[in-house]
Amino acid sequence: MWVEVLVIGIKLAVVLAALLTTVPIMVWVERRASALMQDRLGPNRVGPFGLFQPVVDAVKLITKEDLIPRDVSRFLFILAPVVALTVALSTFIAVPFGSDTGLELFGHAVRGFIVAPDLNIGVLYIFAIASLAVYATVLAGWASNNKYSLYGGIRASAQTISYELAMTISVVGVLMASSSLHLHQVVEAQTGTWLGVLPRWNVCTQLLGAITFMVAAFAETNRIPFDLPEAEAELVSGYLTEYSSMKYAAFFMGEYVHMTVASALMTVLFFGGWTLPWIDLAFAGWIGGLLSIGIFCAKVAFFLFFFVWVRWTLPRFRFDQLMALGWKVMIPLSVLNFLWVGFAIAAGIM
- Give the mean pLDDT of 278-293: 70
Burial-class residue 347 by CB neighbours within 10 Å (0-12, 13-18, 19+): exposed
The model's pLDDT over 175-215, given as tens digits with 9 standing for 90+, comes to 888 888 888 888 888 887 777 778 888 888 899 999 999 99
Kindly report which listed range (104-113, 116-125, 142-151, 303-312) carries the lowest average pLDDT score.
Answer: 104-113
- Give the mean pLDDT of 36-52: 85
Strand partners, 22: none
DSSP H or E segment with residue 109: strand 108-109
Burial annotation 124-142 (CB, 10 A radius, 16+ → b, else e): ebbeebbbebbbbbbbbbb
Cβ neighbors of 181 (< 8 A, separation 6 or more) are 120, 121, 122, 123, 124, 175
The backbone torsions φ and ψ at residue 239, rounded to the nearest 5 degrees and listed phi first, read -70, -10
- Give the mean pLDDT of 251-273: 90
Rounded to whole angstroms, the Cα distance separating 175 from 126 reads 14
The backbone torsions φ and ψ at residue 110, rounded to the nearest 5 degrees and listed phi first, read -85, 100
Highest mean pLDDT among 44-58, 89-103, 273-287: 44-58
Kindly report which listed range (8-12, 33-37, 231-235, 343-347) carries the lowest average pLDDT score.
Answer: 231-235
Report the pLDDT value the prediction gives residue 263, as an integer from 0 to 100.
Answer: 93
Q: Which residue has the higher pLDDT, 4 or 53?
A: 53
Rounded to whole angstroms, the Cα distance separating 261 from 131 reads 13
